[in-house]
Structure formats: C-alpha cells, structure tokens
Amino acid sequence: MHLQTMREEDLDWEVYHLLAADPTRDAGFLAAHLHCSRDEIRASLQRLERALLIEQDEWREDQCPLDSGESHPLPGPLLPRPPVRHRGRRDPREGREGTPYMTDVCVLRLGHRAGRDQRVTTHVGLAARALGARGMYLAARDSGIVAGIRDVVARWGGDFFVEDGVPWKRCIRDWKEQGGVVVHLTMYGEPVQEHEEALREEGRVLVVVGAEKVPADIYTLADYNIAVTNQPHSEVAGLAVFLDRLFRGEELKREFPGARIRVVPSPRGKRCEEL
C-alpha cells in the first residue's frame, strides 16, 4: 500500500503488526516494506509509543536511529502491546485522553435471505458501524443493503465498509490466516462476561452473527462461541452488547470523519447541522 493512500492510523496499524510479528525489524525494513519515509516511520513509532502500544526502552528522540538515514535496528527492545486502549489505565500516565486505537472488529453476517431479512441485516450493519466495527461482510448477494449502508456512510461519515457475496468459509479462513480470531454470537455459547477480557487482548476480531439458522460448521470453525445471555433474542442486540463490552463503552465517544451531516444533541426535538 502506498502512503499517499494510507492514513496515519493505517500506517500505525501496519507498523504495529510488523513489529508484533518480529520486534527486531529495523527502520529501514519498515520504511521499505511500507513504501514510506523514515520520518513517517519515526512519527508512527512515536504515536504508537504515546498510545502505549509499544515500549522502546532506551530510545530517545534525539538519538533516534531513523535520523541517520541508514538502516539500523532500533536500540531498545520493542515490546508490542495489544492494540487496546484500556491498557493505558494501568499505566503511570493514567487519566490522559484515550488513544484512537481500538481492536479491529469486522462483522460477518450469515443466513441473510433477500426479501425477508433486509431490515434486520441493514440494522446489523448500522449498529456495527455506530458501535465501532470497521466493516461488514455479507454472506449473500444483496446490492440494496450495500447501497443503503454506503449511503449512510457517505452522509454520516467514517469509513465503514460493506461487502456482499462473500463466501463465508473463505472469509473465516482468511481472517484466521491473518492472525485474527473468530467469535460466533449464539445463545448456546459461553457467557460474554467470561471471555471479554481475553478478547480485548486480541488485535482483530471477526464477529459472526446469524439469521434464522446458522450452518452447523460455524460452531467448530469459530474460536469462540459467545452468548449475550443464554436467552434467545436478536443479532442486533447481541452484536450491540458484545461491541460495547469489548470496547468498554469507548466506542460511544467515536467521531465519524468526513460526515456531511451531524446531530446536535438536544434535550428535546431533533436538531441536525450540515457540515
């Protein structure tokens, strides 16, 4: 990916994962691999450190090896931390503003029946977007759903993606191959409150929700079968509670860059402003 098309947040994400895979990777490698300059790598490392995602023991900006223009290993060990912001709470810098880093979450919607599930599937996508997920894979073809959700993104901002016609087994396989975990939400699973902490340590989570029935394989293909209570209810409710617990409510403060319209929160009535 070229930097012109890469936002800072994406660059940090790439750098973090390259270092998580091999902490000895040096600046030259990072810059060459990500097609960007050493200054951009240095800025990214500084952001990651400020966000408590990496530690560079002896590293000081004035002796940054990236300044020399040569390829050096970073001096102190880089210790990648899980990319979750709640970690900051146990840090001496406790109390400072949260960082923009949150676990990367996407949703995989199974069992959608065109004509019957339009409304609920749209609500799965809208709830996922509003509550901090990065996108939704739809294991069915339905261009109306895609258009509807993209229209919301265009007007209300953010970069939530939606993709239909996704082969669900391949989606799960690819996600796992890229180091992510798969969480299937089902009333038959284990209580969310018993696993949310472990899940917060994961960098990438694919949340699978069904419609009327789900294929039996999903129970074994998923890394976790998770219940939001063991009572029957809905995929929208299950997803919303799951995301809120995973993000510990931080997702409620999220902003949606590029919005054309925004609500002005009001005690009464409906106020919006054009941006």
Binding site for ligand SAM (CB under 6 A): 185-188, 209-211, 214, 227-229, 231-235, 238
- The pair phi, psi for residue 106, each rounded to 5°, is -125, 160
Q: Are 69 and 168 in contact (CB under 8 A)?
A: no
Based on CB atoms, which residue is closest to ligand SAM, 85 or 245?
245
Based on CB atoms, which residue is closest to ligand SAM, 27 or 199?
199
Based on CB atoms, which residue is closest to ligand SAM, 44 or 225?
225
Q: What are the C-alpha distances in Å from 136 to residues 33, 127, 132, 140? A: 28, 10, 11, 12
Q: Which residue is nearest to ligand SAM (CB)?
A: 210
Instruction: Give least dist CB 115 to ligand SAM, A.
Output: 17
Q: Are 78 and 41 in contact (CB under 8 A)?
A: no
Based on CB atoms, which residue is closest to ligand SAM, 42 or 112?
112
Q: Which among 87, 35, 27, 80 is positioned nearest to 55, based on CA atoms? A: 80
Distance CA 227, CA 184 (A): 9
Instruction: Give least dist CB 120 to ligand SAM, A.
Output: 8
